[in-house]
Structure 1
Amino acid sequence: MPTPFRPFAALLAWLLGAGIALAQDYPLVIPHAFGTTTIADKPQRIATVNSGNHEVPLALGVVPVGMAAANYGDDDGDGVLPWVEERLAELAAGTPVLFDEGDGIDFEAVAATEPDVILAAYSGLTRADYDTLSRIAPVVAYPDGAWTTEWRQMIRMNGAGMGMAAEGEALVARMEARIADAVARHPQLRGKTAMFVTHLDTTNLSVVNFYSAHDTRVKFFADLGLAMPRSVTEATRPGQFFGSVSAERIDAFDDVDIVVTYGGPDLLAAMKADPLMAHMPAVAHGAVVMLGNDPLGNAANPTPLSLPYVLDAYVALLAEAARKSP
């Protein structure tokens, strides 16, 4: 279930423990996986890289000068997801500069926006990426590993980097309340186990690829009342958000009640027809949630602005799968 609202003392302890003060006195010193970042003054020009980070300033009423173009779930191909378009309209703002990250971060485009800070708390930055971006402006990088920052940490770190730690904590509380409300309407989810299978090839299902216990999509299952299968925990490697297991070992996943994956009817049909994968109880019973390349596909990885759009539909799909589970 979602983490309960933090009392002020606990909140203050967390922020101080992370080297971030609620008062946001400057200079700020923010610890992360690559060391620490010092921000001398409250940033006015905010840039973000990689997916989702731009939604934190937008949710807090700040329009970034530049952000990554959407490359997944973009229904009209303009590089901006529908909930972001709506928020920009609410703020009476035009579309910020969009960074094309199809071949990696466009450092020249980021530099051209002349940012005071670059937010990347949820990202896949390499050390080289971080060093290059740091020559442009202070960078708020992820706290532990690439693509492993769960949504609360993303909001808190990016909010702190903007000098808006208290506002970020309030945003976390609002999201937690929204999630709790959605989950309360589907009690059948409680205690069910879920596994996020991904990057499957319909022509060759000899390998089962999955997001590990470190991945944000898997961490989000806990917010929705779902439990971690022991099989996924045991197959998770330190520091890795992704794992692979031979389909010959499919019996290891007998403890999985619900499978979530990206794909459509063709993939589901292939999974049910495969002589090995069909032995997985969740697959055999049809307890599978298929997420397509559309706005709903973003539901598995919550962000501040996407949550009101896709949460209810995602939870409903999970609840339907739970009813079919063995």
Structure 2
Amino acid sequence: MGGLNSLVRELGKSLLYFQRLFGAIKTSQQRSFSRRRFLLGLLTGLLISACRRQSGLYLLASLTGVFLVACQQGNLPQNSGFQSQEPSSNNCRLVKHDAGETTVCDRPQKVAALSPRALDVMLSLGIQPAGYAEDTLFNFRQFDNPSEQIPYLGERITTQPINLGDRDNPSLETLVLLRPDLIVAVENGHALYEQLSKIAPTLVLENGVGKEFWQRHLQVVAQAFDREEQAKQVIAKHQQQLAKARDRLAPVVATYPRVLPIALTPQIEPISVYSYNSDAAELLEAIGFQLVLLEQYPHREQHQGISPKISVEALSQLDADIIIVLAWDHNNNLDHPQEAVKQRWEQHPILQNLPASREGRVYFVNSDLWGSNIGGPITDELILERLPRLLLPAVEGATKSQ
């Protein structure tokens, strides 16, 4: 009985795995020989592994799975908005990116975005994703309601992208089944570049936050899609939005110039100082605010990318007219962590005694947007839209009280 149970279990595993593999292999006419060899290599490795097991049941189950699913369809959800295309050698571009150079032909139709930052840049150029890896691992197979499932960027998505896992560990198996024409990666792109390139042409964008980085990302993706003119329009639009926000917030800058962005969870400590490492900090400085810095890190340009940790007591020693709290949750259980963080802040005696707290100039926002989880031209646009609504009431209230 034990041997029979083992056979059934292994047969089930093999059926699932080889169904997925053959779903990709059967369309191999659209792929190069090297990619077919990659898929068959995965298959061979599994069979060799099965042969080395101490029981012949594993080999039997694997082989049975192969023959049962060889004629079956692939098992990914259908997304009729995309079709893989045969690349044309007459319209190819050599695109330089952070991991090397990649040849991209025609205009890719099925594009996999392996990061929120990659998605931000793609959407700004009008490129819709066929597959997407969020910063959090979800248990559904497809973003069938992206406006509800993908924070901030989902409202601009018109497709139903396949869920490719999380950005740090995207599912290579699902990518193989998706058969994308192009993959755009950021955070884990270098580590996975060789494997990703065997699945589809891959672009790796430099890992960093702020305008300097996303403009480079924009140029790389725009070149791949032959949309350089559109990229120029995106940058020009950003400059106009920044100038408008600078004009509107000039009274706030004049009255309350010193701003401190910090990141908190509902546990309050440790507190991360985000003056050096967030899109929001860069935008605040560009508008004219003076970012509050730590004594040990007095020059922002020399310490970009760091998020120093401080205690509540150390926070009370910093001179800030305005505090912007970027709220987040360790376990990603809260859709609106700023509400939980605000509640804990208001219950903390030291935090409530800060001058900015007493005068009502502590603002709670979601770190997904204001921190470095996303980042890109759309992120900056959304922050610039929110900043006047967030900060102008402070100076308007001060004017009324005088």
**TM-score in terms of structure 1 length:** 0.69
Instruction: Report whether the alignment pairs 1:298 with 2:372.
Output: no
Q: If you compute each CA radius of gyration, which structure gives the higher value, 1 or 2?
A: 2
Q: Percent identity?
A: 17
Supply the AA of the counterpart residue of 1:30: K
Instruction: Report whether the alignment pairs 1:258 with 2:323.
Output: yes
Report what 1:316 is aligned to. Answer: 389
TM-superposed deviation, 1:245: 1.5
Instruction: Report whether the alignment pairs 1:281 with 2:355.
Output: yes
TM-superposed deviation, 1:273: 4.2
Contact (CA 8 Å) 1:125, 1:146: kept in 2 or not? no
Determine helix, strand or coil for the equivalent of 1:290. strand
Whole-Å separation in 2 of the counterparts to 1:216 and 1:314: 13
Supply the AA of the counterpart residue of 1:44: P
Report what 2:249 is aligned to. Answer: 186
Whole-Å separation in 2 of the counterparts to 1:279 and 1:126: 45
TM-superposed deviation, 1:171: 1.1
Whole-Å separation in 2 of the counterparts to 1:85 and 1:139: 26
Q: How does 1:1-326 map to 2 (within 5 A)?
A: 27-32=93-98, 35-45=99-109, 46-69=111-134, 78-81=148-151, 84-86=154-156, 88=158, 94-101=159-166, 104-120=169-185, 123-125=186-188, 127-143=190-206, 145-146=207-208, 150-190=213-253, 192-202=257-267, 205-231=268-294, 233-234=297-298, 238=303, 240-255=305-320, 257-262=322-327, 263-278=337-352, 280-292=354-366, 298=369, 303-305=376-378, 311-321=384-394
Contact (CA 8 Å) 1:43, 1:163: kept in 2 or not? yes
Give the 3 Å change call, closer, same or farther, for CA 40–60 of structure 1 in structure 2: closer
Contact (CA 8 Å) 1:271, 1:283: kept in 2 or not? no
Supply the AA of the counterpart residue of 1:28: L
Supply the AA of the counterpart residue of 1:281: P
Give the 3 Å change call, closer, same or farther, for CA 102–119 of structure 1 in structure 2: closer
Contact (CA 8 Å) 2:277, 2:306: kept in 1 or not? yes
Supply the AA of the counterpart residue of 1:39: T
Contact (CA 8 Å) 2:135, 2:168: kept in 1 or not? no
TM-superposed deviation, 1:244: 0.7
Deviates more, 1:169-178 or 1:186-195: 186-195
Supply the AA of the counterpart residue of 2:318: F
TM-superposed deviation, 1:251: 4.3
Higher relative contact order (CA 8 A, sep 6+): 1
Determine helix, strand or coil for the equivalent of 2:116. coil
Determine helix, strand or coil for the equivalent of 1:242. coil
TM-superposed deviation, 1:317: 0.4
Give the 3 Å change call, closer, same or farther, for CA 51–190 of structure 1 in structure 2: same
What are the ranges of 5 or more consecutive residues in structure 1 without an aligned counterpart? 1-24, 89-93
Whole-Å separation in 2 of the counterparts to 1:313 and 1:137: 38
Contact (CA 8 Å) 1:259, 1:288: kept in 2 or not? yes
Contact (CA 8 Å) 1:261, 1:290: kept in 2 or not? yes
Whole-Å separation in 2 of the counterparts to 1:242 and 1:182: 26
Determine helix, strand or coil for the equivalent of 1:67. strand
Whole-Å separation in 2 of the counterparts to 1:138 and 1:50: 16
Per-residue CA deviation, residues 66-94 of structure 1 (Å, 9 max, x unaligned), is: 2235859x998752457644552xxxxx3
Whole-Å separation in 2 of the counterparts to 1:189 and 1:153: 31
Supply the AA of the counterpart residue of 2:386: A
What are the ranges of 5 or more consecutive residues in structure 2 without an aligned counterpart? 1-90, 138-142, 328-336
Q: Which structure features the higher share of helix residues?
A: 2
Determine helix, strand or coil for the equivalent of 1:264. helix
Give the 3 Å change call, closer, same or farther, for CA 194–42 of structure 1 in structure 2: farther
Whole-Å separation in 2 of the counterparts to 1:313 and 1:118: 32
TM-superposed deviation, 1:318: 2.8
What is the alpha-carbon root mean square deviation over aligned residues?
Answer: 3.9
**TM-score in terms of structure 2 length:** 0.58
